[in-house]
Structure 1
Amino acid sequence: MSRPPASPSDPSPEPGDGGGFQHPSTPETSSSPGGRPRAIAAISAIVAAEATALLAAAGWYGLQLVTGAPVLSFWGAVFTLALLLAFASWLYAVAVFLFRGFRWPRAGALVAQLFVLTIGFPTLTGGYPLAGLAMLLPAAVAIVLLFDKRVIRFASRAAGSPPAL
């Protein structure tokens, strides 16, 4: 069943076209045969890898906490562990919802990459060049890809509404 247009400027929907709604993953808006730009998959993979690294750091931190590593404040260390776990789960959510084409994870992914850059530069110049490059290069790639036209076009869907562009 077709619904009438929301405003007079909207074209009237054709029968059987889903009421005029076109998902951003249709072939007309993508650069790959599957409908999703490869840049979206790359950004999602980078963000998911960063979340996995944070999860590994949280596991190592928790293990050190359990084995009795000296800390100034036990509850402060527990709070730090909770922050690591929360940020890792937030990054996983950003990766998943960006991959699905939602709008809000673009800002979250950009902020996460800026945080990685602020840690990567001191790491690089502080005597750990491989670790610094391992942080800086993926973050720089993700930032560049986040501003690609195809990524913006694909990841412009608000929750429960048709694409914005």
Structure 2
Amino acid sequence: MAVISAVAALEAVALLVAAGWYALQLLTGAPVLSFWGAVFTLGLLLAFSAWLFAVGHFLFRGYRWPRAGALVAQLFALTIGFPTLTGGYPLAGLAMLVPAAVAIVLLFDKRVIAYASRVGGSPPAL
């Protein structure tokens, strides 16, 4: 569980760094086709980073619901990693593919499923 949570947290940090770089480029006047489209993209990067931080945190605490979010995030990483690998950036592609593959395999491990069996639950009625 710690490995999957660490992968999600590191991916969130990478997205946060990318958002910072993107914001810096936007503020320094880098040419963009649509300013508001670039702002929207920056917002998406920040939102996805926050979502991955939440997934990693609650997965580490043993909740069940973040497993689906972690799987979706890793599938996105695979979707971006393969074209990056074959497009002439092998190190960047491997940096996306290897952690995603490890996390996907571990998400279906029996120990992880057993650990992530906690549900939120509601407080007693009376």
Distance in 2 (alpha carbons) for counterparts of 1:158 and 1:70: 47
How much does 1:158 deviate?
Answer: 1.2
TM-score, normalised by the number of residues in structure 1: 0.73
Separation (CA, whole Å) in 1 of partners of 2:92 and 2:117: 33
Gaps of 5+ in 2: none
**Which structure dedicates a bigger proportion of its chain to helix?**
2
How many Å separate the matches in 2 of 1:147 and 1:127? 31
Match of 1:8 in 2: none
* Partner residue in 1 for 2:42: 81
Equivalent position of 1:104 in the other structure:
65
Q: In structure 2, what is the Cα distance between the partners aligned to 1:66 and 1:140? A: 36
The separation in 1 between residues aligned to 2:17 and 2:89, in whole angstroms, is 19
Give a deviation string over 1:66-117, Cα, whole Å, max 9, x none. Answer: 0000001100000000000000000000000000000000000000000000
Question: CA offsets, 1:40-79, max 9 Å, x none?
Answer: 0000000000000000000000000000000011000000
Match of residue 80, structure 2, among 119, 144, 153: 119
- Matched pairs, number: 122
Identity of aligned residues (%): 82
Query: Are 2:16 and 1:93 aligned?
Result: no
Larger Rg: 1
Distance across 2 between alignment mates of 1:75 and 1:124: 30
| Runs of 4+ more than 2 Å apart | none
In structure 1, stretches of 5+ residues that fail to align are: 1-39
Tell me the CA shift for residue 136 of structure 1.
Answer: 0.2
Superposed, which structure 2 residues align to 1:1-150 within 5 Å?
A: 40-150=1-111
Q: Distance in 2 between the 1:96 and 1:148 partners?
A: 19
Instruction: Tell me how far apart the structure 2 counterparts of residues 134 and 78 of structure 1 sit (CA, whole Å).
Output: 27
TM-score, structure 2 normalization: 0.95
Distance 1:160 1:54 in 2: 31
Q: How far apart are the structure 2 equivalents of 1:110 and 1:156?
A: 16
Q: What amino acid maps onto 2:9 in structure 1?
A: A
Aligned counterparts of 1:85 and 1:132: Cα–Cα separation in 2: 22
Q: What is the CA-CA distance between 1:160 and the residue it aligns to?
A: 2.2
For each residue in 1:119-138, what CA deviation from the matched residue of structure 2 results, as whole angstroms up to 9, or x when unmatched?
00000000000000010000
Q: CA RMSD in A?
A: 0.7
CA distance in 1, matches of 2:98, 2:12: 16
Q: Secondary structure at the match of 2:42?
A: helix
